[in-house]
Amino acid sequence: MNLTSFGRALHLEANTIYKWYRDVLSDYAKDGGKSVHKNDILASCSTKEGVIRVPVFKEDNFGNKMAIDEKLIGEDIYTIISNRESGKIAMVCQSLKFSEIDQVFQRHKNVIFRAKSFTRDYSLLYRKVGNSIFPEATQVIDKFHIIKNLMEAHQDIRVKYRQKELDKRRKAHMEFKEVEKQRLQECERSGEKYKARKFHYKEDLYENGETALELLARSRYLLFKFESQWKEKQKKRAKVLFRLFPEIEKSYKLCCQFRDFMSKKNIGKHYLQIDKQLHQWYENIENAQIDEMLNLKTLVETNEEHILNYFLEGETNAMAEAINSKIQKFVSSNQGTRDRDFFFFRLDKYFT
């Protein structure tokens, strides 16, 4: 609960309640915050002073299904490993270096072989963590990150064409300014009175009543949807958009094909069926010859093994993302993270 709101109900300052809770009501005062430093390690870089904070490490929270993600807390980025079955945090480490994360686990080798599956994003660091620290776990790249990159590549094409249309407007404005400059000089030579003109950029209106720029700006959300989800106005807009920009239509169809491939209906299917569908999509990408989609294809190809592991049981990193969201709410409603030791003391109690 937000301490400010709680304070208003009691007619007390939020800082007063915060200090009472930290110094009197909680167990934090008993050890002075030493519990959040017991797993800290020395920094691996010799040029860096101090230690790497490991405010949370709970062996009991390591299980069969683990997830890894990063979170910005204050000004530092922390690696967070959580249990997808229990929803509890197993480790919080103030590092994005494998050597330092590995150093933490060297003190707790008995948890290494517990994990049977390990969900993550595309990070090469987390891939190495999975390979070295959880060698018996099946790595699964999170479906959310795959689809996110897919849609970003698709939207990049729309933005590219919008920038081209804006570029046309900019050049027309530059030409107009040059003409006006020459006209001003001519008026000064002839002694005529100069009257400035306003810039007007003429754009074609299409059958749905929108210009090319308006089409590209207003098509953002319809491109996130399947065609069956479009409303009547969106269908008309898409028809004009695809006629004017056929590359966007090709990209849209490739996106829908991949999203259909990643749907739940394919979970549990034989590996050869899944592999055939994916390579057909690769072939379609090659035939389309769209740079943004070719870049995405390369990303998928280089991580193909761990992407296809999603179809074994449909595992995702949703729990890790949910914990990140809860931590952010925790930061927002509990006086921030300035008192870092007490913040992690509370985080430990709340999420473990």
Same domain, 255 and 159: yes
Q: How confident is the model at residue 2 (pLDDT cuts 50, 70, 90)?
A: low
Same domain, 299 and 156: yes
Task: Label the pairing between strands 117-120 and 138-141.
Answer: parallel
Rg (CA), the chain: 28
Same domain, 293 and 345: no
Same domain, 227 and 302: yes
- The pLDDT > 90 percentage for the chain reads 61
* Mean pLDDT on 193-197: 87
Residue that the structure tokens 């080798």 belong to: 109
- The count of domains in the chain is 2
How far out from the chain centre does Cα 20 lie? 38
Transcribe 1-41 into DSSP letters: --HHHHHHHHT--HHHHHHHIIIIISSHHHHTTGGGGTT-E
Q: Name the residue among 248, 256, 251, 290 with its Cα closest to residue 161.
A: 248
* Mean pLDDT on 307-317: 93
* Mean pLDDT on 261-282: 94
pTM for the model stands at: 0.83
Q: Has residue 4 been placed in a domain?
A: no
Q: Has residue 206 been placed in a domain?
A: no
Residue that the structure tokens 């948890």 belong to: 111
- The Cα–Cα gap between 237 and 128 comes to 46
Same domain, 79 and 123: yes
Q: Name the residue among 108, 106, 131 with its Cα closest to residue 118.
A: 131
The amino acid that residue 260 corresponds to is D
What is the residue range of 237's domain? 144-164+214-313
Q: Has residue 20 been placed in a domain?
A: no
Cβ proximity of 96 and 128 under 8 Å: no
* Mean pLDDT on 220-232: 94
Q: Is 60 exceeded by the pLDDT of residue 261?
A: yes
- The Cα–Cα gap between 154 and 64 comes to 36
The CATH code of the domain that includes 341 is 3.30.420.10
Q: What are the phi and psi torsion angles at 212 (to 5°)? A: -60, -40
User: Which parts of the chain fold into alpha helices (H)?
Assistant: 3-10, 14-20, 28-31, 98-106, 124-132, 143-190, 212-218, 232-244, 246-261, 271-288, 291-302, 304-308, 310-313, 318-333, 340-351
Contacts of 223 (CB under 8 A, 6+ apart): 151, 154, 155, 158, 248, 252, 255
pLDDT on residue 89: 92
Neighbours of 256 (CB within 10 A): 15
Cβ proximity of 335 and 3 under 8 Å: yes
pLDDT on residue 331: 79
Higher pLDDT, 277 or 34: 277
pLDDT on residue 49: 54
Q: Is 70 exceeded by the pLDDT of residue 3?
A: no
How large is the angle between the packed helices 124-132 and 98-106, nearest 10 degrees?
Answer: 30
pLDDT in tens, 179-193: 989 988 888 888 888
- The Cα–Cα gap between 219 and 158 comes to 8
- The Cα–Cα gap between 348 and 178 comes to 66
pLDDT in tens, 60-86: 999 999 999 999 888 889 999 999 999
Q: How confident is the model at residue 118 (pLDDT cuts 50, 70, 90)?
A: very high
Same domain, 252 and 150: yes
Q: Is 50 exceeded by the pLDDT of residue 115?
A: yes
pLDDT in tens, 31-65: 777 778 888 888 766 445 578 889 999 999 999 99
pLDDT on residue 47: 44
**Angle value at C-alpha 56, between 53 and 61, nearest 5 degrees:** 150
The overall average pLDDT reported for the chain is: 89
Q: How confident is the model at residue 335 (pLDDT cuts 50, 70, 90)?
A: low
Q: Has residue 183 been placed in a domain?
A: no
